[in-house]
Amino acid sequence: MRPSLAVFVLVTLAACSSETVLNADNPAKTSSAEVMYSDAKKRLNENSFDEAIKQFESLISHYPYGRYAQQAQLEITYAYYRQNEPESAITAADLFIKQYPNSPNVDYAYYVKGLANFNADIGIFGLAFGQDPTERDPKAARNSYSAFKDLVTRFPSSRYTPDSRLRMQYLLSALAKYEIHVARYYLRRGANIAAVNRAKEVLTQYPNTPAIQDALLILVRGYNALGMKELRDDAQRVLDKNFPKAASAANKISTNSQ
């Protein structure tokens, strides 16, 4: 016997429902995506980040293709960032960027990714003992700069672009300072060629940062230790012209070695 038209319509409507799924054994499924999002957002605003993340993830699980799933993924990114879990925040941001590359909010995902990397290496030990972040592996700083650069390049009119530009300038200075830190270490160990190479990298990669002065000083000292007087004098002339106060100390090195 063929099923009646009424039965067919009821089955079809039940299969096509994407906003509400009734299930007496699972209260979560009786809530609409909008209600689930509202509840999770409330938890987020209350700084209950773990609970908010769980609820947003539940929403995505129940309604993976709904309009609230996209916003939920972005909220998860922010929640992890606020909870000081940079790796999870970066992973969540990358997932959003991959899944929703044309979203009007994708610029925010790049921004949070940059922020998460920006703070990734300022851990509890660095804060407690006052360790200079430029003395540690600059991987997070480079990743942060890359994320901010993507944002600035792709979305020059974004509301997050001005702050991103400022952070990029800071990061360039920090990365240059890291290279100076390494170059000085090489000088102390007598690895003068390595010190010179690091200083030259600062001059070429970070030409508009305060570290240029230190890089020139290292070049003068490194070339002097290597007996490369012509290159030492070239570096000294550039130092004299651009940083006359700092040049006096380097001049003593050149004079004493002659």
Q: Provide the pLDDT for residue 131.
A: 53
- Choose among 180, 173, 208: nearest CA to 196: 180
For residue range 123-133, list pLDDT tens digits in order. 433 433 345 54
Tokens of 73: 């993924």
The closest alpha carbon to 100, from 75, 79, 78, 69, belongs to 69
Domain ranges of the chain: 182-258
C-alpha–C-alpha distance, residues 40 and 27, integer Å: 15
pLDDT less than 50: residues of the chain:
1-30, 123-130, 133-134
The pTM for the full model equals 0.75
Cα–Cα distance measured from residue 69 to residue 63, given in angstroms and rounded to the nearest whole number: 6
Tens of pLDDT, residues 33-70: 999 999 999 999 999 999 999 999 999 999 998 889 99
Non-local CB neighbours of 242 within 8 Å, separated by 6+ positions: 212, 213, 216
What CA–CA distance (Å, rounded) separates 66 from 52? 18
SS3 content of the chain, % helix, strand, coil (to 5): 75, 0, 25
Q: In this structure, are residues 216 and 195 in contact, taking their beta carbons and an 8 Å threshold?
A: no
Measured CA angle at 40 (ends 34, 45), to 5 deg: 120
| Contact (Cβ atoms closer than 8 angstroms) between residue 75 and residue 56 | yes
What is d(CA 176, CA 93) in angstroms, rounded to the nearest whole number?
A: 27
Q: What Cα–Cα distance (Å) separates residue 243 from each residue in 40, 176, 212, 237?
A: 56, 17, 10, 10
How far, in Å, CA of 35 to CA of 42, rounded?
Answer: 11
**8 Å CB contact between 118 and 102:** no
pLDDT of residue 159: 97
